[in-house]
Structure 1
Amino acid sequence: MRDATIAKSEYVPSEKVVSKVQDFQEDLELFRYCTLPEILKYMECFTGPNIMAMHTMLINKPPDSGKKTSRHPLHQDLHYFPFRPSNSTVCACTAMEHIDWNNGCLAVLPGTHRGPLKLHDYLQWEMFNTSPT
């Protein structure tokens, strides 16, 4: 998949750049991370011991070029999942390098897991655009 930040920037890669790898559960080496006891311990807190991976994805998100193209709008991943019940569906995100507000870190809005799904929205992002202390 092409990264919008690279496509809309002045940066021209001299070689092919991978920005997203999806559904790697059949790759034993990549999927090994998903089965680490340290990861499963946290997932079990939400789902119980019968854990099943439904989707796997690695995302390479370079820093924003100044055009605010590296951020996804605030959204709930459940919009994209065809399976239910939602109360036993968990998404996990692990940063593999330093992330902050400038390169699109994960943001959690308390309470949004209750009630109906919200519309994708950029408008509310700015209220969270402060560095954590």
Structure 2
Amino acid sequence: MVLVKSLAGVRVLPKPVFAEQSDNYILSPEQIKFYEDNGFLVIKELIDFTSLYSYKQRFLQICKGIVPAGNVRVVKEPTLVAQNLKPEEYINKIQELLYDDVFIQYGEHPRLLSVLSQFIGDDITAVNSMFINKPPGSSRHPPHQDLFYFPFRPAEKIIGAWTAVDHVNVENGCLYAVPGSHKAEILYQHAGKKDALKMYHGVDEEAIAPLDQRVQLEMSPGDTVFLHPYLLHGSGPNVSKNYRKAITFHFANSTCEYIDLHGTVQEHLAKEVEAQAAKMGLGELSYIDVWRFKSKQVKGVRSNL
């Protein structure tokens, strides 16, 4: 068994299972049950070092202007930008990676797709993509649910994959999760937080995701955690002197369908994104249009997304 420290003490998690060096990775009954019970699952060393190195180098190439960013969107830490640092020291993350020749290799990695197929089926659309740098001094990501951002359903056909590129620990802002919080199947109200970047929305922490219910997910390079879209999770600030690089995509079964967000807790987010798109000169795009542009088929047949 593995002991995982949390602010509540020590919790016991199943023994980590190391991925075999083959394109197929078959989940054990224990792993499937752990995901169903807790809403997340960590697989050790799922992604190989060569792939991790290529993702990191691509990020640095974009930082240094060696390759054009293209459609990749760069998100900066305002407090760090003001310190006249070099780009790697103030870029928090880059996103919209699905049409980058290097980053898309993560979303099409055969071992990753093998696991995804066992969770959500063989027809898979990548719907969101980020390479997170999290330099020293960068802010936290408040507890949230990924489903809050997604205008499609059903939830059980959506999953997130988050792979450590560097060693991640509590000091440099590793992920944390609230085990079992997905079981309520409640999408909570989210709002912006003063100590987080724009669009890093979060729930009412004291009532819904208190500190003593969180489990810290310290991970090594190549370790990959799969996240249920209802799961409450987040990450702490980076108070170390090291970067905390990771790559994360979200995936949905291609038969998922877009839903009307009018009158839901997601409505204000949709309006916020639509207003931002208009300011960027993209015209009157709907929130659903934005997600259609963001998505890319990575396995099987595309239908609704």
Residue matched to 1:110: 179
Match of 2:231 in 1: none
> Structure 1 residues 45 and 59 mapped into 2: Cα distance closer, same or farther (>3 Å)?
same
Match of 2:211 among 118, 126, 133: 126
Deviations 1:51-100 (A, max 9, x none): 1101111111124x4xxx62211111111111111110101111110111
Q: Is 1:99 the equivalent of 2:172? A: no
Equivalent residue number for residue 22 of structure 1: 95
For 1:130 and 1:88, locate their aligned partners in 2 and report how far apart those are by CA, in whole Å: 25
Match of 2:152 among 83, 92, 96: 83
Larger CA deviation: 37-46 vs 85-94: 37-46
Q: Do the aligned residues in 2 keep the contact of 1:73 with 1:121 (CA within 8 Å)?
A: no
Q: Measure the CA separation in 1 of the matches of 2:181 and 2:125.
A: 23
Two-structure CA RMSD over aligned residues (Å): 2.5
Distance (Å, rounded) in 2 between the aligned partners of 1:4 and 1:129: 29
Equivalent residue number for residue 122 of structure 2: 49
Out of 54, 65, 77, the position equivalent to 1:3 is: 77
Show the counterpart of 2:11.
none
Larger Rg: 2
- String of CA shifts for 1:22-71, please: whole Å, max 9, x gaps: 111111211011111111122112101111101111111124x4xxx622
- C-alpha distance in structure 2 between counterparts of 1:122 and 1:5, whole Å: 24
Residues 4 and 70 of structure 1 are in contact (CA less than 8 Å); yes or no, is this contact kept in structure 2? no
What percent identity do the matched residue pairs reach? 35
The normalised TM-score by structure 2 is 0.37
Q: How many residues align?
A: 125
Aligned 8 A contact 2:93 2:133 in 1: yes
Letter in 1 for 2:174: C
Return the alpha-carbon distance in structure 2 between the equivalents of residues 70 and 125 of structure 1: 19
Gaps of 5+ in 1: none
Higher strand share: 2
State the shift of 1:110 in Å.
2.1
Cα distance, 1:118 vs structure 2: 3.3
Q: Any unmatched runs of 5+ in structure 2?
A: 1-74, 190-202, 219-305
